[in-house]
Structure 1
Amino acid sequence: MWRSRIRPNLLEEVHQRLLQLIEVNQKEIIGIAEATEQEVKALQRELEQLRSETLEVIELVDRLLEEEQRARRRLAEVSSDFSRYSEADIKEAYEQAQQLQLDLLSLRSREKVLRARRDDLERTLKFLLLTKERAERLASRVAVVLDYLRKDLQELNDNWQKMLSRQDLAMKVLEAQEEERRRIAREIHDGPAQSMASVVLRVEYCLKLLTKKPEAMSKELVALQELVRGSLQEVRKIIYDLRPMALDDLGLVAALEQFLDHVRVLHQLEVEFVVMGSPRRLPGPQEAAIFRIVQEAVNNTIKHAAATRVMVKLEFVNRRLNLVVKDNGKGFVVQKVSKGPRKGFGLWSMRERAELLGSELGIFSNPGQGTVITLSVPLAGEEGENGSN
């Protein structure tokens, strides 16, 4: 069966896995953005401290440079005037100038290192800020995509479920068609076909009597007439089951009256048919669907409910037709029947017809409390007409 190859929850599983994967990656991106932000803050603090330290060193270098320049001028002065300054003075000036040069060289080296470190931190900070901005922007985009995916995938999943439902519907329709064909074939084989075979045999017998016992012909022809009449009734019953003529000729109410009279006589069932409001003809598809729902509900009562009484009520009100089918049978658990091996084919077919009518079938039953079927059908064409008045 091609139906069995389709996993009904496949798209839902893919849907959930895809959303989970995107959500996990979204969290990772947010985590990257948060970690980058923490690193940026730490780097900003370090850079601020480094900038302050670099500025202090630069100021110290400037001051030391002035001192070193004064020391060199002092050394030049004492070195050129031996009459005023002693050798010790010259030595002291020289050592002072030399020490200042060494200190200045050390500070300039430190300044260079600090400047390089500062520039490196500034580049790193710029890169981290850009990374943080990209991560936040990407997280925002992923959030938007995730939101769209949730909506679109849910819509896709709903469409998938509808497709599966249509496949299930198609399968059930095929099953119903095959079951109906088997039933009709059985009825024709057991009824009209057998009768026609008997007619052929009796006609052959009549032909023999015509030459041998003409006086017995009358009795045999009467029997043949009854056989043909019975066959005709069986054929009419099969035709009625396929499509009652009264439904097309006289409408829904007359067709239901005829059907319920037949049920009353054939099954010895107490049947009450109530019509309220002003009966009127409905479009053919509406009448056919409502008739089949009543037919299916009553047939279910006959087959399964062991009921002695059934009531069918039609109420024609403004813009709607309300239907109630109620029996005093043994009842059942609706959920259990709906989930059984055949999934309540009769109930399913009634629900499907109700949906085609733009309505919803109500099924109320409990063991020992009978069953009530309800339906409220919007009448075609009347919504717009009444709305325009």
Structure 2
Amino acid sequence: ERTLHSDRILEQLLSKIRTVMQPDLMLFFKWEEADEEWALFFQHGLPEHFIKKGKLSRAWQSLPTIIRHEASPVYSDDISKDRRFIGQVIRSMGVKSFSGHSLYTASQLLGSISIGFFDAEALKKSDQNAFDMVARLLLPFLLTPENPGIPTTITTATATPTPTPTPKTTPKTTPKTTPKTTPKTTPKTKTAPNPAQTTAPSQEGMTLHLKLDLAGRIQDCNDAFLEHFASRSEDLKNRALSRLLTKKSNSIYAAAVKKLKTSESGTASITLELIKKGGPRRLLSVELRLEKPENGSKTILFKARDITKIEPLETELAYKNSMQTIWTTLSSGLQELAKKMIENTSSHNIKHDVDEDQILGEALKKAFVQLGFEGGCLLRLQPRGKKLVLVAEKGLSEAQLAQIKKHGIGAKEHLLWKTIDKGGVTLLTAKTQKSHLKKRLFGEETLVSFMGLAIECDAHPWGALVFFSRTTLFAETHSHALSLFGKDLGHTVEQIQAFHGLQKRIATLEILNETGQSVTKSLHLPQLLSSVTNTMKNLIDASHCYIFLEDGRRHLYYGAGSSDQGNEAIRKFEIKMNENHLVPLAARERHPFVVENASQDSRVGKKWVKTLKSRSLFTVPLINKDRVVGVLLLDETRYFRKFTTEEVERTAEMAGQIAIGIENAIIHHSVSQHRERLQTLSSAIVNVQEEERRRIAKKLRNDSSAALTKIQEDLTWLNANLADPTPEMKRHLERAKSETNKTLETLKGLSAELRPAILDDSGLIATVKWVVKDFEAQTKTKVHLQITGTIKRMPARIEILLFRVIQESLANVASHAKAESAIVSLEKRDPHIHLYITDDGKGFDVKRYFSSPQMMRKEIGILGMKERVELAGGTFYIDSHPGQGTRISVRVPLVRRNP
């Protein structure tokens, strides 16, 4: 037997979420109730040094706790400016945009999921909504038999459970369920077939037929092909087969047709890869035959078999079987539903369609058996809430069934509308089992019992559920069972709608993702334009894509980017803003323009058609904050093409994102130049300061100290050679000598603080040893010096920087920490040098420090150290808590990086 572990599926789902949403950091924690701590289950983008011996540092425990205590979900466009994240380790990683979601049932906490991006405002509202849906769909995979967190199954005194019927649509792969002796019995499944010998079950044994004209347009197809692509014949009529093929397969098909025209046999066998909308690509074994009728045009007959190989996991989790199995267990309660989701649902299946009516119909059929009801129906409110339409039924007369299917139930005075308005269960019974209800319901006669229940979805009316009987008098136990089943049904509808919402969002995200990556990956304008135009060309399957940018100074739009590197023609086009051309028209009118025949449209122009060979095209304005940045143009040169409304709307939806990317690239170029000038100026100021300190220190050592030493020697000579000095004279000489000694020592100390000579002569390591020894002598605080690896002389700027950090840190230890001991650690790990300074002092509140007045912050000097380290391209992090000491971590690159 083959089983699936929920953790394996959960890990695959999280990997899929990471792939689709592309976060720079992703964390998934499980809540360990027994230990009262968060256990890291899945991570992406977390540096290795945070994980020791397979466990995450406790400093990260506060992140999911913040999410739990805040109103879930938590969103932040820039956590560096968000007070909730002050002092959090995640801020030191450069994460800006953040989203976190706690996962819990009504009774218990189960986990937490978070994603972060290095760019601010990276999460739009639509992305947040998608993340909410994803988080909700993860809940069933955290539920276990020992930790259910959801209601038990529904049972009644009269209902007898029966084995789950095998769905008829997919008999070859649907698991068979044996009768249960106890609720804990696990259904047994047959061993899955060898995936290497298995093709897609939904397509097994089908032969796909097409009739194509010589241009490759579909003229006719059989039902198997329509079912395979879930399409209608009118949607495929005259559609180019190339739109359904991958690029490689297009080339193979074209070569086969060309060979077919010259071949004597008139047939050709090839293998093609087809793109199935909303699903994975399919591999077909194709036989092409050229048909030459006596009268009429030549056609190509296309005959194919699906030979797509399905991976082992996909075989077990094939959508039709898994979803059928999941939802036929609905009436047994949400616990059984969650188990089946764990066994049969994967991220692969999220992209498939979910037939709501079929799922609910199967659930209702099982409810009739389990709850012992002989008839009834399920009705859904139409979107505007003016009519109830039939979803599923049992036991209705043919006449009444036809009436409800055709007209629904639209009379507000009907009993069901009253049930929906008041909520709860409506129970009607005859006085005796031999009498009948006086009021006819659904046109049915001879009823002795009737129950109606309003179904809610997300706290809003969704529809109504009805059961009736001609033989059984319903009692309160029946209405209670109906109420429980109705709640399960409402929850099922919520899950189905969540799947539908996620399906739509995934389809949109997959379209937007590639363009979004192109926009965010590069802030170099030429590279960005090339990437965006190529992505859009491939996305719409057009021949070319061009971008025109605005030149406000010259009042024109100029060709700035093309999907073809070698196509320089577009860069020669300059179109004035007041011309009646498609490009300035789209900018002025601020909406797309579509042209099906470019040669016949005056808005395109003869020069354009002659130069670029355009046949069909459409333009979309690139607008950001009510400002037109430019115009995007999709061009088709292969054939006359009618671009669909969906294609135009999809492009228009992405146009805003492209406009933002282009403006960001322009701004980035300007900001980069400004930042480079500021960094050059700041570095120059630091260098001037250090040079001035070195000059003054040298002056004090060489000139002032030498002069004082000379004075000291003269005073000593006077004291020894003065004839018959009075006691007063001796006292003054001794005092002058003493003051000279003190002044000399002060000058030496001041010189060392400004720039110790040993730093220039012997390097950082010797200087640090001297500083530590001198600090211990002056403060009586024990300092442990740790040097890992061989650290030779480094660039002077790095040695000076690290010396200043150590100097300032030890000064803080002496002045503020009241520590008994400290540790100074240096470690070289190419291409960086790492410095750690730790003390066991009183510590302080980092969050309060950064929110305190500027003058108070200056007393400790942390900001000065941080700025100097970051100016050198390094990172500075401080961790401290009252009563727990302080730790400063510095990492500096040994080689200067270009800004």
Partner residue, 1:139: 621
State the shift of 1:319 in Å.
5.2
State the shift of 1:277 in Å.
2.3
State the shift of 1:336 in Å.
4.3
Structure 1 counterpart SS, 2:842:
coil
- TM-score norm. by structure 2 comes to 0.24
State the shift of 1:239 in Å.
0.5
Query: Residues 331 and 368 of structure 1 are in contact (CA less than 8 Å); yes or no, is this contact kept in structure 2?
Result: yes
State the shift of 1:263 in Å.
1.8
Once the two structures are superposed, residues 106-146 of structure 1 have per-residue CA deviations (whole angstroms, 9 ceiling, x without a partner) of: xxxxxxxxxxxxxxxxxxxx99x545999954737524894
Query: Residues 338 and 347 of structure 1 are in contact (CA less than 8 Å); yes or no, is this contact kept in structure 2?
Result: no
Query: Residues 30 and 136 of structure 1 are in contact (CA less than 8 Å); yes or no, is this contact kept in structure 2?
Result: no
Summarize the Cα distance change of 1:31–1:378 in structure 2 as closer, same or farther, 3 Å threshold: closer
State the shift of 1:252 in Å.
1.4
Unaligned runs of 5+ in 1: 1-18, 20-24, 41-125, 382-389
Q: Distance in 2 between matches of 1:267 and 1:303?
A: 10
Summarize the Cα distance change of 1:27–1:236 in structure 2 as closer, same or farther, 3 Å threshold: same
Summarize the Cα distance change of 1:148–1:363 in structure 2 as closer, same or farther, 3 Å threshold: same
Q: Distance in 1 between matches of 2:745 and 2:728?
A: 26
Q: Distance in 2 between matches of 1:33 and 1:137?
A: 5
Query: Residues 26 and 143 of structure 1 are in contact (CA less than 8 Å); yes or no, is this contact kept in structure 2?
Result: no
Q: 1:155 aligns with which of 669, 676, 688?
A: 669
Summarize the Cα distance change of 1:163–1:335 in structure 2 as closer, same or farther, 3 Å threshold: farther
Higher relative contact order (CA 8 A, sep 6+): 1
The answer on 1:341 being equivalent to 2:823 is: no
Q: Distance in 2 between matches of 1:150 and 1:379?
A: 31
Once the two structures are superposed, residues 314-357 of structure 1 have per-residue CA deviations (whole angstroms, 9 ceiling, x without a partner) of: 23456543221001223234354345425945223322332354
Greater share of residues in strand: 2
- TM-score norm. by structure 1 comes to 0.50
Summarize the Cα distance change of 1:313–1:219 in structure 2 as closer, same or farther, 3 Å threshold: same
Partner residue, 1:372: 887
Structure 1 counterpart SS, 2:884:
coil
Q: Distance in 1 between matches of 2:813 and 2:821?
A: 9
The answer on 1:321 being equivalent to 2:836 is: no
Q: 1:31 aligns with which of 582, 588, 591?
A: 591
Tell me which moved more, 287-296 or 357-366. 357-366
Indicate the structure (1 or 2) with the bigger Cα radius of gyration: 1
Q: Distance in 1 between matches of 2:683 and 2:788?
A: 36
State the shift of 1:273 in Å.
1.7
Unaligned runs of 5+ in 2: 1-549, 551-584, 609-616, 623-629, 634-657
Query: Residues 29 and 138 of structure 1 are in contact (CA less than 8 Å); yes or no, is this contact kept in structure 2?
Result: no
Structure 1 counterpart SS, 2:883:
coil
Q: Distance in 1 between matches of 2:774 and 2:764?
A: 15
Q: Distance in 1 between matches of 2:747 and 2:886?
A: 33
Q: Distance in 2 between matches of 1:317 and 1:142?
A: 49
The answer on 1:248 being equivalent to 2:760 is: yes
Q: Distance in 2 between matches of 1:171 and 1:318?
A: 26
Query: Residues 591 and 620 of structure 2 are in contact (CA less than 8 Å); yes or no, is this contact kept in structure 1?
Result: no
Summarize the Cα distance change of 1:371–1:150 in structure 2 as closer, same or farther, 3 Å threshold: same
Query: Residues 276 and 316 of structure 1 are in contact (CA less than 8 Å); yes or no, is this contact kept in structure 2?
Result: yes
Structure 2 counterpart SS, 1:312:
strand
- Matched letter for residue 263 of structure 1: F
The alignment covers a number of residue pairs equal to 257
Q: 1:352 aligns with which of 867, 874, 895?
A: 867
Structure 2 counterpart SS, 1:331:
coil
* Counterpart mapping for 1:177-192 below 5 A: none
Summarize the Cα distance change of 1:136–1:29 in structure 2 as closer, same or farther, 3 Å threshold: farther
Q: Distance in 2 between matches of 1:279 and 1:155?
A: 38
Summarize the Cα distance change of 1:166–1:371 in structure 2 as closer, same or farther, 3 Å threshold: farther
State the shift of 1:264 in Å.
1.7
Partner residue, 2:569: none
Summarize the Cα distance change of 1:302–1:162 in structure 2 as closer, same or farther, 3 Å threshold: farther
* Counterpart mapping for 1:1-389 below 5 A: 29-31=589-591, 33=593, 129-131=601-603, 136-137=618-619, 139=621, 141-143=630-632, 146=659, 148-157=662-671, 159-160=673-674, 213-214=725-726, 216-317=728-829, 320-338=832-850, 340-342=853-855, 344-345=857-858, 346-379=861-894
Q: Percent of counterpart pairs with the same letter? A: 25
- Matched letter for residue 268 of structure 1: K
State the shift of 1:228 in Å.
1.0
Query: Residues 33 and 132 of structure 1 are in contact (CA less than 8 Å); yes or no, is this contact kept in structure 2?
Result: no
Dislocated runs of 4+, deviation >6 Å: 25-28, 132-135, 164-167, 170-174
